[in-house]
């Protein structure tokens, strides 16, 4: 594959690899800033949801895609962030304080989950996090004194320096801002020793340990960062839904997050964004084409979850690198257009490590 040739240290330290990247990303951000003026409120609202899920996806991507730790309970951290934010706001704490607090609170919860599960790998970790998510979900339902139980409660409107952040447009800009901040932070974390250690742990725990990486420390840090970012997404999610009820934070939400990073492409921040676009916009797409489908397919109940399942299965079977991997392959195909070789992107065959002694 093509590698950028770097000639100066400054080039190595810049966030984006080359000039065309700077150009296109500036253009993209400018376009996104203009969206609320152009598109209707419905689309602005949906895009706000995409950003919030992308933030949570980036959080999970750092944990699963870069550190190799599975978390099937990410929805719980979104819930912790959402409830921390909203409960504090009803007590009169301003939004500028509750937003970082909900991230910190979720990060602490992430450490609390991370420390006991340090020794677990693979599916044991998946099951443990699944159990954790379900326990937290039940706490949201039963701790009525704080969460209001099944009745839920309305989330107050946030204000920043006296300006109320209202409606779809307010949530849109707020989420976009937090998403850009989180992406900037994640890119920098991934280039720092912490990020390098995370990737080393993902690739081989044994060799990471022999290079002097403290496995427990970096795994716990990874859990903290991941759940902290998801907690931020949770705070925004509370304002997105405007009414908190505990049944929004169930297993299915956690599975949606894992779908985001899998369909988007494991091990790339782009993947988290692509995945969030897919997961949030697929239901809308179905809603739009529902009436035009032949044979009444569109009116079948349960079309949406089955499509989710089908896409997940197809991605794992045929494109394990996800949407971003496919995009890279397409780009490579057009870059060396007439000279494309079929085997160029073939993966090295990997064999799962056996956990048996024999």
Partner 1 sequence: MDDAARLLQLVINGAAGGCIYGVIALGFVLIYKATEMINFAQGDLMMLGGFVALSLIANLGVNYWAGAVLAIAIMAVFGFLLDSIILRRVIGQPQFAVIMLTLGLGFIFRAFAGITFGYGSYTFATPFTNKVERFGGIVIGQDSLSIVVGTVILCAILYLFFSKTRLGIAMQAASQNQLAAYYMGIPVRTIFSLIWGISAAASCVAGILLAPSTVLDVNMGFLGFKAFAAAVLGGFGSIPGALVGGVIIGIVEQLAGYYLPAGFQEVTSNIVLLLVLILRPQGIFAETQRKKV
Contact positions toward partner 1, by CB under 8 A?
A: 64, 70, 72, 116-117, 119-120, 122-124, 126-128, 130-132, 134-135, 138, 141-142, 206, 251, 255, 258-259, 262, 300-303, 305-306, 308-313, 316-317, 320, 349-352, 354-358
Which of 99, 136 has the CB closer to partner 1?
136
Nearest distance in Å: CB 301, partner 1: 6
- Contacts by 177-181 with C-beta closer than 8 Å and gap 24+? 178/51, 178/55, 178/99, 178/232, 178/233, 178/236, 179/51, 179/54, 179/55, 179/58, 180/29
Helices (H), 115-166: 122-142, 144-147
Which of 21, 309 has the CB closer to partner 1?
309
Q: Where are the beta strands (DSSP E) in 141-290?
A: 153-154, 159-160, 163-164, 243-244
Which of 36, 59 has the CB closer to partner 1?
59
Which of 120, 281 has the CB closer to partner 1?
120
Nearest distance in Å: CB 42, partner 1: 26
- SS3 state of residue 13: helix
Nearest distance in Å: CB 133, partner 1: 9
Nearest distance in Å: CB 195, partner 1: 20
What tokens were used for 246? 């505990």
Q: How far apart are CA 95 and CA 58, in angstroms?
A: 23
Nearest distance in Å: CB 142, partner 1: 4
Which of 164, 305 has the CB closer to partner 1?
305
Which of 183, 255 has the CB closer to partner 1?
255
- Helix, strand, coil percent values for the chain (each to nearest 5): 75, 0, 25
Q: Could you tell me whether strands 153-154 and 243-244 are parallel, antiparallel, or unpaired per DSSP bridges?
A: antiparallel
Nearest distance in Å: CB 249, partner 1: 14
Q: 213 and 197 in contact (C-beta within 8 Å)?
A: yes
């Amino acid at each position: 594959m093509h590698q950028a040739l770097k000639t100066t240290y400054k080039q190595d330290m810049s966030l984006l690899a080359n000039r065309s990247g700077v150009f296109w990303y500036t253009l993209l951000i400018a376009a996104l800033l203009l969206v609320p003026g152009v598109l209707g409120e419905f689309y602005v609202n949906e895009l706000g949801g995409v950003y919030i899920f992308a933030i949570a996806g980036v959080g999970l991507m750092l944990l699963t895609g870069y550190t190799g730790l599975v978390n099937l309970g990410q929805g719980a951290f979104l819930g912790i962030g959402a409830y921390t934010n909203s409960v504090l706001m009803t007590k009169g704490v301003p939004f500028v304080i509750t937003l970082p607090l909900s991230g910190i609170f979720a990060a602490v919860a992430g450490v609390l989950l991370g420390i006991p599960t340090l020794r677990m790998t693979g599916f044991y970790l998946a099951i443990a996090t699944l159990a954790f998510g379900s326990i937290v979900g039940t706490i949201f339902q039963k701790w009525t004194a704080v969460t209001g139980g099944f009745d839920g409660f309305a989330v107050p409107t946030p204000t920043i320096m006296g300006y109320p952040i209202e409606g779809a447009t307010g949530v849109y800009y707020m989420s976009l801002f937090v998403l850009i901040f989180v992406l900037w932070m994640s890119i920098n974390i991934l280039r720092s020793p912490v990020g390098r250690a995370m990737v080393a742990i993902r690739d081989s725990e044994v060799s990471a340990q022999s290079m002097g990486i403290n496995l427990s420390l970096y795994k716990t840090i990874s859990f903290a960062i991941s759940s902290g970012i998801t907690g931020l997404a949770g705070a925004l999610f509370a304002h997105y839904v405007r009414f908190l009820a505990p049944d929004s934070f169930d297993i299915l939400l956690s599975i949606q997050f894992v779908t985001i990073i899998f369909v988007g492409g494991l091990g790339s921040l782009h993947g988290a964004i692509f995945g969030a676009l897919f997961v949030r916009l697929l239901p809308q797409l179905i809603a739009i084409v529902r009436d035009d489908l032949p044979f009444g397919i569109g009116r079948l109940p349960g079309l949406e979850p089955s499509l989710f399942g089908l896409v997940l299965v197809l991605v794992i079977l045929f494109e394990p690198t996800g949407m971003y991997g496919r995009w890279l392959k397409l780009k490579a195909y057009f870059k060396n257009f007439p000279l494309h070789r079929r085997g160029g992107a073939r993966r090295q065959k990997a064999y799962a490590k056996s956990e048996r002694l024999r």
